[in-house]
């Protein structure tokens, strides 16, 4: 909670002064959580949930350390936000994530009724928001989340490529 409120004034100020860069500011904060994942030896993906200019959920990718295949950054951030709100539906919330969500996360985003999804880098291997399939645009699914991709895509992708490069080097030593 304290961490949330520390970041909130900065974010609120940005939201009030320049709406065009709000997505980039929020993605920077998600990137910080991706760096935390990398430090823990996890594939670096980070996510935050924002409601009314306040961060209410944060998540770092952590399936290895938690022995939990569902511990993707988006799921953790949405769990955190749902606990904060005391509600399983995250109405009027925006989810920022550094990598295009997979099918599991895209499904959870729809179950949570996330209003808007903003992601950074595309994921040509498991991306379910346009790269492999697009669950967000499936007319047979009844909830439709507004979606923006490619925000700070270069930075978000570089964190991942640097991580995998380092891991390859470590294996070759
Ligand atoms: Zn996922």
Task: Find, among 139, 83, 82, 138, the residue nearest to 113 by Cα.
Answer: 82
pLDDT digits (tens, 9 = 90+) for 103-126: 999 999 999 999 999 999 999 999
Could you tell me the distance, in angstroms and rounded to a whole number, from the CA of residue 97 to the centre of ligand 1?
10
pLDDT of 171: 87
> pLDDT band at 6, cuts 50/70/90?
very low
**Surface-to-core class of residue 64, CB atoms within 10 Å of its CB (0-12 exposed, 13-18 middle, 19+ buried):** middle
Residues whose beta carbons lie less than 5 angstroms from ion ligand 1: 72, 102, 104-105
**Residue with structure tokens 């470590």?**
170
Would you say residue 4 has pLDDT above 80? no
Give the C-alpha separation, 105 to 107, whole Å: 5
Catalytically active residues, by annotation = 74
| More confident call, 12 vs 28 | 28
- pLDDT given at position 24: 94
- What is the tens place of the pLDDT at every residue in 65-92? 999 999 999 999 999 999 999 999 999 9
What are 112's two structure tokens? 């949570």
- Mean pLDDT along residues 141-161: 93
Q: Show the tokens assigned to 41.
A: 């030896």
SS3 for 74? helix
Ligand 1 center to residue 159 CA distance, Å?
A: 17
Find the 101 Cα to ligand 1 centroid distance in Å.
5
> What whole-number distance in Å separates Cα of residue 40 and Cα of residue 158?
17
Neighbours of 110 (CB within 10 A): 18
**Torsion, CA 123, CA 128, CA 134, CA 138, rounded to 10:** -170
Distance 118 CA to ligand 1 centre (A): 14
């Amino acid at each position: 909670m304290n961490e949330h409120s520390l970041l909130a004034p900065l974010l609120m100020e940005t939201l009030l002064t320049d709406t065009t860069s709000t997505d980039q500011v929020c993605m920077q904060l998600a990137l910080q959580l991706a760096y935390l994942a990398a430090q823990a030896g996890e594939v670096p993906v980070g996510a935050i949930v924002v409601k009314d200019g306040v961060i209410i959920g944060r998540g770092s990718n952590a399936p290895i350390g938690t022995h939990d295949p569902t511990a993707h950054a988006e799921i953790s951030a949405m769990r955190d936000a749902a606990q904060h709100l005391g509600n399983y539906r995250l109405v009027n919330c925006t989810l920022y994530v550094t990598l295009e969500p997979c099918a599991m996360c895209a499904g959870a985003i729809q179950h949570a009724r996330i209003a808007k999804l903003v992601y950074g880098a595309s994921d040509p291997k498991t991306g379910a928001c346009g790269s492999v399939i697009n669950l967000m645009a499936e007319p047979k699914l009844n909830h439709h989340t507004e979606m923006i991709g490619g925000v700070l895509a270069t930075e978000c992708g570089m964190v991942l490529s640097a991580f995998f490069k380092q891991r390859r080097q470590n294996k070759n030593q």
